[in-house]
């Protein structure tokens, strides 16, 4: 079964760092891009960025460039989303998702992780 399994919920203080993960299984992890999507409480979906684990080619939305870092470790089939200094406004659910086409970045997301809730509060 093709699936993406994300790390558990996090509660952090402003200014702290954080790295959340998304582990792929059931498919060739290095052959598909993996994207990250933010959903703030009660709000819509926002595309943050995407990485190709095969060569770590990474693209960011202008809205998130410089605010987060996307990376991947292909040896353990895991993608990451990290912050160096969290803000209260980073409180949101974060989803990883895989485009359906092998090697294709511009494609619909057919596989989604279960989501990781990040809460930033003093």
- Which of 73, 72, 74 lies closest to 30 in space, CA to CA? 74
Residue 98 CB, shortest distance to other proteins, in Å, is 10
Whole-angstrom distance, CA of residue 103 vs CA of residue 60: 17
Residue 61 CB, shortest distance to other proteins, in Å, is 4
Q: How far is CA 61 from CA 37, 66, 108, in A?
A: 10, 10, 16
Residue 84 binds to other proteins (criterion: CB under 8 A): no
Per-residue binding letters, 11-40, with other proteins (x by CB under 8 A): --------------------------x---
Cβ contact 49:61 at 8 Å: yes
Where on the chain is the footprint of other proteins (CB under 8 A)? 37, 44-47, 59, 61-63, 95, 97, 99-100, 105-110, 112-115
């Amino acid at each position: 079964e093709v699936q993406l399994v994300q790390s558990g919920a996090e509660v952090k203080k402003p200014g702290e760092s954080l790295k959340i993960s998304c582990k792929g299984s059931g498919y060739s992890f290095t052959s598909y891009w993996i994207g990250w999507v933010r959903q703030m409480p009660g709000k819509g979906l926002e595309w943050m960025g995407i990485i190709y684990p095969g060569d770590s080619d990474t693209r960011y939305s202008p809205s998130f460039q410089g605010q987060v870092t996307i990376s991947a470790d292909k040896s353990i089939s895991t993608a990451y989303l990290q912050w160096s200094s969290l803000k209260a406004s980073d409180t949101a659910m974060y989803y990883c998702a895989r485009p359906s086409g092998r090697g294709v970045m511009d494609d619909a997301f057919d596989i989604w992780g279960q989501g990781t809730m990040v809460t930033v509060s003093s």
